[in-house]
Amino acid sequence: MNRVLIAGATGWVGKELSKAILSSADYTLVGGLSRSNAGADLASILGIDHSAIPLFDTIGKALETVEFDTLIDFTSPKIALHNILAAINKGKNIVVGTSGLSDKEYEKIASLADEKNVSVLAAGNFSITAVLLQRFSETAAKYINHFEIIDYASEKKVDAPSGTVAELAYRLSKIQKPILDVPIEETIGVKEARGGSINGIQVHAVRLPGHVLGVETIFGMEGERLTIKHEAGSGAAPYLKGIFIALEKINTFKGLKRGLDTVMNF
């Protein structure tokens, strides 16, 4: 039985994930992290009939109090990095759903995961359709050398780009950097209108009411164009299936893997 601790257990994804794990015969939810609800009973917060599930305000207290095999983190970038490194140092496997971690931070995570011989699976998005967008975009980038990314989210999302888009830009840059026929510094007018450069790829972040999360990769060739787009609704359900795939695969490798598709069979 895989014992799970959820960081961000009372958050948007965390609540639905907690319920799903409690309904699963393969996993046991032993506790959660929630700074605003520390000391409370997660089962009561979820409104379910279950023995008490403790909530802690820090990963340190959780590590001292409960035994678990896998940490699932859905918090914020700064908190997540601390949680991840602390858990790795204690030999725990980790599924990272938090967005906004940088490539340098992932390098630090990868180095420590290798040193401690644990498994870390990080995905900017656990939605299956988002995973397919990443895979299809990678395939297209092998053949088309002009492309840019549009990042959609609600007006309240503070990080830009989103974790999904940051991961996509990182992965596409490993295939090839797109050609810019007019270098950004030679743009006449407002250079910022051309977006920001993420790993050598132009990314345009839209933050407006009516959007939840969305990603669009646009490819252009002479006389033709290709658009690959993923859009998420307001519920957490699309992410749960991918998280359970991550839990199922977390013991099949060691070190850091970035992207849910790295453990899926395509």
Tens of pLDDT, residues 179-190? 999 999 999 999
206-234 average pLDDT score? 95
166-182 average pLDDT score? 95
Over 80: is that where the pLDDT of 1 sits? no
Let me know how long the chain is. 266
| Pairwise pLDDT comparison (102 vs 28), residue with the higher score | 28
| Pairwise pLDDT comparison (38 vs 235), residue with the higher score | 38
Is residue 165 within 8 A of residue 151, CB to CB? The reply is yes
**What's the whole-model pTM score?**
0.82
The residue among 166, 113, 129 whose CA lies nearest residue 242 is: 129
Burial label for 125, CB within 10 Å (0-12, 13-18, 19+), is: buried
The residue among 26, 24, 44 whose CA lies nearest residue 34 is: 44
129-136 average pLDDT score? 94
Q: b/e per residue, 54-76, with b = 16+ CB within 10 A? A: bbbebbebbbeeeebbbbbbbbb
Band of the pLDDT at 137, cuts 50, 70, 90?
A: very high
Burial label for 114, CB within 10 Å (0-12, 13-18, 19+), is: middle
Q: Which domains does the chain have, with CATH numbers?
A: 2-122+235-263 (3.40.50.720), 128-232 (3.30.360.10)
The residue among 81, 61, 72 whose CA lies nearest residue 28 is: 72
48-60 average pLDDT score? 96
